[in-house]
């Protein structure tokens, strides 16, 4: 049985050579992110993930969180692990020192988050939601709310949740019905929320719910939604815990994966809530949380892919079946068979491409945060749906390949490969399904601005061509050609979206998910091309075996993944004719 080992070599390579950690560390406030400090953090986080979280992953899946009499007990060992997480200061990494945070770049926190998620996705969801809630409060809360809640949330002593979904309001938050009625300096919240991750649990002494609700005179639709902070326990003026609020967990869901993460039905009965920001602007604030959370869910795709890959490699080296196709041999480990190698390379190359794209986006978040430069934020806004949609869809494919490499043992729970696939399956659904991410990408991020940011990004990718052209390596030249074809495919897709969104919106949206996949594959190819160049440059001085593997992995990605770009472009530009052709009443043939 394989145990999780943080892929520190690749993480360091991506941080330093692709995401520009040295430049990020020059931003004001990030001076502490020196190479030594970052190295120490990565080493320690890797140990925490391997020694504390990974051993709880499979037992946590089997045991699950349990609901009884309004309370939720997390699986054995989770409380102790969470205590260690808080003591280790892991939650405080990216937040402002004024609230007790360590003020480190998002980029560094991203590598740590990947490790926590790889080793135990169910556990990692509690910090994920808490961090989203901190962001929203930091940016939109009053000073009083910040003083009362942020210090304890930053350390992780109190946790946060995100309460959007209601039975009739999933992707469509315009349908939210939960009510908020003003009562002096606070509001009274009533309604039911479903699917609330860590809505109730035993890891922390208080839970702060960020709840979308409507005031009585609010306009219809998304323009009438406000955001409220509803604590499980009210907080006294001296910061101590006060009365139990009337926010309670009615039950938790039985589900396909992430069994240890409680998914709660929450009932609010005249619960005390505090307005965050202004009335009717809740959805905009929620987007702050959602963007952070969407990025993190995209990272879950990377993390699960890495974990599934590590398990598959270990199994492929152990499992003896068949003979070598060329050399005279006895029974060989299955890793010697070309088809198994192909599957492992698909896992490895796509995981590395996704990691590079996610970390590069995290670095852009740091630049956007510190410099307020529009170009960085525009890049982040463009890439968030891609990181979320592409990394999670690919993460599922990779976890599925992991099962395939295990053969029948992959389908049996014993090896752990199946858990990764079950856990990964939610990632394309929550925080906005892939369909919703793709609509955001083609509608808000491309069509609405006439494709400006996408074209700027494509221009910057094209600039890499000059550097690639100077390489004497046949691998790099093959990567260069595949990237140029991929860039053209995205460019054609952007032109189609911009030209048709006004006159054939169905046609544009019919191809939205294929376009998102195209963007992801080409953005991943861009990163792998940069990786190959960086590896070539460092060859004389660095870890030769790692760098050679990086170039070969980038070549594989170009030959087997990037090569899909033209077909995806063709799907996008065909529009909606075939997609919408069969009438609804003809779908079923019974
Ligand atoms: C385990 C788990 C944890 C969760 N955690 C949280 C949480 O912490 N907080 C929270 O608020 N919610 C949470 N959710 C809810 C989650 O965010 C929603 O399930 C998700 O947003 C999808 O909504 P829905 O389930 O109602 O699906 P629906 O919105 O009914 O979607 C069904 C299908 O229709 C498609 N669709 C819907 N509308 C459109 C459209 N306009 N264009 C194109 N396609 C569309 C979707 O892509 C999907 O394929 C969680 C859900 C689960 C299962």
Q: How far is the CA of 515 from the centre of ligand 1 (A)?
A: 21
Q: Is 443 in the pocket of ligand 1 (CB under 6 A)?
A: no
Q: Is 436 in the pocket of ligand 1 (CB under 6 A)?
A: yes
Q: Is 426 in the pocket of ligand 1 (CB under 6 A)?
A: yes
pLDDT band at 589 (very low <50, low <70, confident <90, very high): confident
Q: Nearest C-alpha to atom 24 of ligand 1 is from which residue?
A: 170
Residue 288 has pLDDT above 80, yes or no: no
Q: How far is the CA of 129 from the centre of ligand 1 (A)?
A: 16
Q: What pLDDT does 292 receive?
A: 87
Q: What are 336-354's pLDDT values in tens digits? A: 999 999 999 999 999 999 9
Q: Is 212 in the pocket of ligand 1 (CB under 6 A)?
A: no
Q: What is the pTM of this model?
A: 0.97
Q: What pLDDT does 335 receive?
A: 98
Q: Is 263 in the pocket of ligand 1 (CB under 6 A)?
A: yes
**253 Cα nearest atom in ligand 1:** 1
Q: What pLDDT does 536 receive?
A: 97
- For residue 53, the tally of other CB atoms under 10 A from its CB is 26
Distance CA 326, CA 401 (A): 25
Q: What pLDDT does 75 receive?
A: 98
Pocket test for ligand 1, best of 131, 165, 268, 442 (most atoms within 8 A of CB): 165
Torsional class of 274: left (φ above 0), alpha (ψ -120 to 50), beta (otherwise): beta
Q: How far is the CA of 173 from the centre of ligand 1 (A)?
A: 10
Q: Is 100 in the pocket of ligand 1 (CB under 6 A)?
A: no
Angle at 133 between CA 127 and CA 137, to 5 degrees: 140
Specify the higher pLDDT residue, 249 or 575: 249
Q: Is 429 in the pocket of ligand 1 (CB under 6 A)?
A: yes
Q: Which two tokens stand for residue 176?
A: 């939210």
pLDDT band at 538 (very low <50, low <70, confident <90, very high): very high
| Long-range Cβ contacts of 340-343 (<8 Å, 24+ apart) | 340/316, 340/405, 342/560, 343/312, 343/401, 343/404, 343/405
pLDDT band at 542 (very low <50, low <70, confident <90, very high): confident
Q: What are 161-203's pLDDT values in tens digits? A: 999 999 999 999 999 999 999 999 999 999 999 999 999 999 9
Torsional class of 422: left (φ above 0), alpha (ψ -120 to 50), beta (otherwise): alpha
Residue 453 has pLDDT above 70, yes or no: yes
Q: How far is the CA of 263 from the centre of ligand 1 (A)?
A: 13
Q: Is 422 in the pocket of ligand 1 (CB under 6 A)?
A: no
What Å distances lie between residue 252 and 129, 137, 201, 412, CA to CA? 17, 27, 10, 26
Catalytic sites, residue numbers: 431
Q: How far is the CA of 297 from the centre of ligand 1 (A)?
A: 14
- On whether the CB atoms of residues 341 and 317 are closer than 8 A, the answer is no
Angle at 312 between CA 310 and CA 316, to 5 degrees: 120
Residue 156 has pLDDT above 90, yes or no: yes
Q: What are 546-574's pLDDT values in tens digits? A: 999 999 999 999 999 999 999 999 999 98
Average pLDDT, the chain: 96
Q: Which two tokens stand for residue 184?
A: 């002096």
Backbone dihedral angles phi then psi of residue 375, each to the nearest 5 degrees: -60, -40
Q: What pLDDT does 284 receive?
A: 87
Strands 158-163 and 206-213: parallel
What average pLDDT does this structure show over 308-315?
Answer: 98
Q: Is 168 in the pocket of ligand 1 (CB under 6 A)?
A: no
Strand partners, 231: 208
Q: What pLDDT does 96 receive?
A: 85
What average pLDDT does this structure show over 399-404?
Answer: 98
b/e code 142-180 from CB counts within 10 Å (16+ = b):
eeebbebbbbbbbbbebbbbbbbbbeebbeebeebebbb
Residue 303 has pLDDT above 80, yes or no: yes
Q: Which two tokens stand for residue 456?
A: 């700027």
What average pLDDT does this structure show over 376-392?
Answer: 97
Q: What pLDDT does 575 receive?
A: 81
Q: Nearest C-alpha to atom 47 of ligand 1 is from which residue?
A: 435
Q: What pLDDT does 523 receive?
A: 98
Residue 60 has pLDDT above 80, yes or no: yes
Name every residue whose Cβ is closer than 8 Å to that of residue 61 and which is 6 or more positions away in sequence.
122, 257, 259, 260, 419, 423
Q: Nearest C-alpha to atom 11 of ligand 1 is from which residue?
A: 164
- Give me the half-sphere count of Cα atoms (radius 13 Å) on the Cβ side of residue 463: 6
Q: What pLDDT does 286 receive?
A: 82
* Helix ranges (DSSP H) in 471-503: 474-500
Residues in the chain: 590
**261 Cα nearest atom in ligand 1:** 1
**434 Cα nearest atom in ligand 1:** 47
**258 Cα nearest atom in ligand 1:** 1
Q: Which two tokens stand for residue 338?
A: 């070309």
pLDDT band at 233 (very low <50, low <70, confident <90, very high): very high
What average pLDDT does this structure show over 30-55?
Answer: 96
Specify the higher pLDDT residue, 427 or 589: 427
DSSP 219: P
Distance CA 66, CA 56 (A): 16
Pocket test for ligand 1, best of 64, 136, 164, 171 (most atoms within 8 A of CB): 171
Q: What pLDDT does 290 receive?
A: 82
Which helix (H) or strand (E) segment is 399 a member of?
helix 374-405
Q: Is 162 in the pocket of ligand 1 (CB under 6 A)?
A: yes
Q: Is 439 in the pocket of ligand 1 (CB under 6 A)?
A: yes
Ranges assigned E (strand) in 236-341: 241-244, 247-252, 263-276, 320-323, 331-333
- On whether the CB atoms of residues 309 and 420 are closer than 8 A, the answer is no
Residue 1 has pLDDT above 70, yes or no: no
Distance CA 438, CA 442 (A): 6
What Å distances lie between residue 314 and 92, 308, 317, 338, 437, CA to CA? 34, 10, 5, 16, 34
Strands 226-231 and 206-213: antiparallel
Q: What pLDDT does 256 receive?
A: 98
Q: Nearest C-alpha to atom 20 of ligand 1 is from which residue?
A: 430
pLDDT band at 108 (very low <50, low <70, confident <90, very high): very high
Q: How far is the CA of 429 from the centre of ligand 1 (A)?
A: 6
Q: What pLDDT does 469 receive?
A: 98
Residue 322 has pLDDT above 80, yes or no: yes
* Helix ranges (DSSP H) in 425-473: 434-439, 452-470
3-state secondary structure of 449: helix
- For residue 318, the tally of other CB atoms under 10 A from its CB is 11
Q: How far is the CA of 432 from the centre of ligand 1 (A)?
A: 6
């Amino acid at each position: 049985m394989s145990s999780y080992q943080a892929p520190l070599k690749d993480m360091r390579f991506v941080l330093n050579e692709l995401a520009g950690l040295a430049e990020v560390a020059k931003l004001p406030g990030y001076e502490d992110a020196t190479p030594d400090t970052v190295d120490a953090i990565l080493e320690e986080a890797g140990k925490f993930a391997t020694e504390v979280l990974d051993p709880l992953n499979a037992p946590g899946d089997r045991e699950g969180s349990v609901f009884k009499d309004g309370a939720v007990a997390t699986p054995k060992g989770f409380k102790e692990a969470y205590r260690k997480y808080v003591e280790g200061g892991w939650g405080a990494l990216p937040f402002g020192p004024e609230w007790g945070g360590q003020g480190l770049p998002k980029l560094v926190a991203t590598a740590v988050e990947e490790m926590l998620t790889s080793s135990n996705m169910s556990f990692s969801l509690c910090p994920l939601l808490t961090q989203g809630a901190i962001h929203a409060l930091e940016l939109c809360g009053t000073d009083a709310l910040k003083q009362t809640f942020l210090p304890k949330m930053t350390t992780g002593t109190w946790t946060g949740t995100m309460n959007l979904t209601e039975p009739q309001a999933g992707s469509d938050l315009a349908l939210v019905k939960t009510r908020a009625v003003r009562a002096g300096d606070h509001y009274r919240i009533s309604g039911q929320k479903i699917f609330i991750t860590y809505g109730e649990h035993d890891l922390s002494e208080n839970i702060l719910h960020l709840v979308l609700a409507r005031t009585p005179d609010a306009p219809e639709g998304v323009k009438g939604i406000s955001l409220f902070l509803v604590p499980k326990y009210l907080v006294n003026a001296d910061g101590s815990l006060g009365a139990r609020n009337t926010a309670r967990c009615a039950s938790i869901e039985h589900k396909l994966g992430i069994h240890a993460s409680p998914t709660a039905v929450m009932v609010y009965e005249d619960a005390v809530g505090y307005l965050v920001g202004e009335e009717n602007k809740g959805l905009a604030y929620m987007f702050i949380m959602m963007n952070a959370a969407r990025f993190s869910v995209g990272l879950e795709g990377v993390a699960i892919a890495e974990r599934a890959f590590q398990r598959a490699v270990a199994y492929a080296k152990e499992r003896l079946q068949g003979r070598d196709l060329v050399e005279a041999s006895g029974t060989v480990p299955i890793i010697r068979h070309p088809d198994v190698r192909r599957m492992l390379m698909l896992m490895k190359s796509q995981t590395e491409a996704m990691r590079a794209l996610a970390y590069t986006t995290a670095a852009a978040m740091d630049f956007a945060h510190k410099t307020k430069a529009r170009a960085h934020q525009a890049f982040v806004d463009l890439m968030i749906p891609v990181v979320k949609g592409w990394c999670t869809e690919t993460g599922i494919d990779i976890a599925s390949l992991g099962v395939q490499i295990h053969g029948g043992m992959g389908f049996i729970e014993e090896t752990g490969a199946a858990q990764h696939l079950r856990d990964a399956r939610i990632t394309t659904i929550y925080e906005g399904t892939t369909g919703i991410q793709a609509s955001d990408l083609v509608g808000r991020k491309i069509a609405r601005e006439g494709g400006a940011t996408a074209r700027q990004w494509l221009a910057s990718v094209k600039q890499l061509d000059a550097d690639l052209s100077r390489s004497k390596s046949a691998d790099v030249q093959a990567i260069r050609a595949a990237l140029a074809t991929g860039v053209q495919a995205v460019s054609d897709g952007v032109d189609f979206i911009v030209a048709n969104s006004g006159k054939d919106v169905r046609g544009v949206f019919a191809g939205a998910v294929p376009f998102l996949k195209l963007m992801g594959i080409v953005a991943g190819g861009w990163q792998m091309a940069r990786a190959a160049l960086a590896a070539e440059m460092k060859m004389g001085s660095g870890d030769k075996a790692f760098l050679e593997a990086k170039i070969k992995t980038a070549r594989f990605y170009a030959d087997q993944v990037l090569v899909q770009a033209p077909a995806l472009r063709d799907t996008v530009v065909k529009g909606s004719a075939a997609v919408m052709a069969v009438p609804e009443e003809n779908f079923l043939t019974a």
